Structure 1
Amino acid sequence: MIASSVRMKRVRKKSHSGRPSTGQVRVIGGQWRGRKLPVSDALGLRPTTDRNKETLFNWLMHQTTDARCLDVFAGSGGLGIEALSRYAACCLFFEKDKEAARQLESNLATLNANGKVLQGDALALLGEQSGPFDIVFVDPPFKFDLVKPTLALIQQNNLVCAGSVIYLEQEPDAPLPELPGHWQVTKHKQSSGLQYLLIEVLPT
């Protein structure tokens, strides 16, 4: 478990790619509302839109304060940073791309945010963590069939508990994932090119 009372250490990794940041992600609520942060041009990076973030954090309105968060396929880190802006206690970010991870670490340092970035394969990193987390963001790259193994590893490694919620983004034509009996889809919306849902973990 990540102790929310302990300040997470941010380790800056030296970048050798030289790739510039070509976009921005905007914080839409909380203490850093309106801040624009640079985003790496990593191949396939797909930051969650402001509209979808607004919907998600309306769903999570009463759950972000003091929450321990995990952003599994962090990319720009927009979801985890948004949670930290809304007074989540801490957030752990997984990102495979070295340049995207470096940019995310830089953005967290700029905000003096209580977040930690682990650079590597998300599925491998899930097996190395101890939980539980209160909020887990699962926004994987599309077309790689990552939803099923990701949810399975979250369950197997006890990274959620009763009262935890999992936010999931997936392809618009993807079927709803098969879930354990005590996991329940409580919110489900679809927009152009995307469907997103909130899963609540119930007591067993």
Structure 2
Amino acid sequence: MKKPNITRRPTVNAPQEVRIIGGQWKRTPLPVAALPGLRPTPARVRETLFNWLGQDLTGLRCVDAFAGTGALGLEAASRGAAEVLLVENDGALVKTLTALKTRLKADALRVERGDGVAALQQRRGQGLDVVFLDPPFGDDGNPALFNAALLAARQALGDLGLIYLEAPRAWTGDELAQLGLQLHRQGKAGVVHFHLLQPLPPQ
């Protein structure tokens, strides 16, 4: 007797996760909530980024201004950063990030609910070492948000600091120069362009 064909339906709301790829919390899973626009930075992109930044971030002060899953900021804290601020607007994500901080006993980590641009503006002139920017892309690419975030990050950055930027397109040297920045490294993964930026030297 022929067995009937059974179509297996995919599990609805199956839990998803990414993992920290380096440092003291290597392989720690980070939950990924099913929220519109939430795009955790892929492991291979994070691996490239931390090859650029260096594997040891001991003593550095960092801000992950659109934290989401916290993958970027947690990678920095895992690799020895002295201070890492995770800024996130979504209350559920903030709760998850706070629970992760407690579970990992991550003393260097602070979680703050709020707007990423405003958080950077409040830290103007503080000489941060690394700012991570992965703003929501939106249907139109959110150009105003990207400009505001880059300008606020530049003003919070130290002279030798670096900005990591994920965006739906590559940013040009002329655009960055208007914000006091220049391109240091650049890559592409799928539809996402990622950049490592540094301040323009004083004229």
Tell me the TM-score normalised to structure 1 length. 0.81
Match of 1:163 in 2: 160
Pick aligned residue for 1:127 from 97, 121, 124: 121
User: How far is the alpha carbon of 1:149 from its aligned partner?
Assistant: 1.0
CA deviations on 1:133-175 (whole Å, 9 max, x unpaired) are 10000011112222111111223xx311211000000003x54
Change (3 A) 1:181 1:140: closer
**If you compute each CA radius of gyration, which structure gives the higher value, 1 or 2?**
2
User: How far is the alpha carbon of 1:34 from its aligned partner?
Assistant: 1.2
Match of 2:72 in 1: 79
For 1:99 and 1:181, the matched residues in 2 are separated by 33
User: Residue 151 of structure 2 contacts residue 179 of structure 2 at CA under 8 Å; is this kept in 1?
Assistant: no
For 1:55 and 1:95, the matched residues in 2 are separated by 24
Q: Which secondary structure does the structure 2 equivalent of 1:79 belong to?
A: helix
Match of 1:150 in 2: 149
CA deviations on 1:69-103 (whole Å, 9 max, x unpaired) are 00011000000000111111110111111111111
Pick aligned residue for 1:33 from 22, 26, 37: 26
Match of 2:134 in 1: 139
For 1:141 and 1:69, the matched residues in 2 are separated by 20
Pick aligned residue for 2:83 from 90, 107, 115: 90
Q: Which secondary structure does the structure 2 equivalent of 1:25 belong to?
A: strand
For the pair 1:24 / 2:21, whether they are aligned, the reply is: no
Aligned residues: 182
Change (3 A) 1:38 1:191: closer
**Could you list the runs of 5+ residues in structure 2 that have no partner in the other structure?**
1-12
Between 1:25-34 and 1:46-55, the stretch displaced more is 25-34
User: Residue 176 of structure 2 contacts residue 182 of structure 2 at CA under 8 Å; is this kept in 1?
Assistant: no
Pick aligned residue for 1:201 from 191, 199, 202: 199
Moved over 4 A (4+): none
For the pair 1:109 / 2:107, whether they are aligned, the reply is: no
Match of 1:184 in 2: 182
Change (3 A) 1:103 1:62: closer
User: How far is the alpha carbon of 1:184 from its aligned partner?
Assistant: 2.1
User: Residue 40 of structure 1 contacts residue 103 of structure 1 at CA under 8 Å; is this kept in 2?
Assistant: no
> Kindly, what percent of the aligned residue pairs are identical?
37
Tell me the TM-score normalised to structure 2 length. 0.82
**Could you list the runs of 5+ residues in structure 1 that have no partner in the other structure?**
1-19
For 2:56 and 2:133, the matched residues in 1 are separated by 17
User: How far is the alpha carbon of 1:32 from its aligned partner?
Assistant: 0.9
Between 1:176-185 and 1:95-104, the stretch displaced more is 176-185
User: How far is the alpha carbon of 1:182 from its aligned partner?
Assistant: 5.3
For 2:193 and 2:127, the matched residues in 1 are separated by 26
The answer to which structure, 1 or 2, has the higher relative contact order (CA under 8 A, 6+ apart) is 1
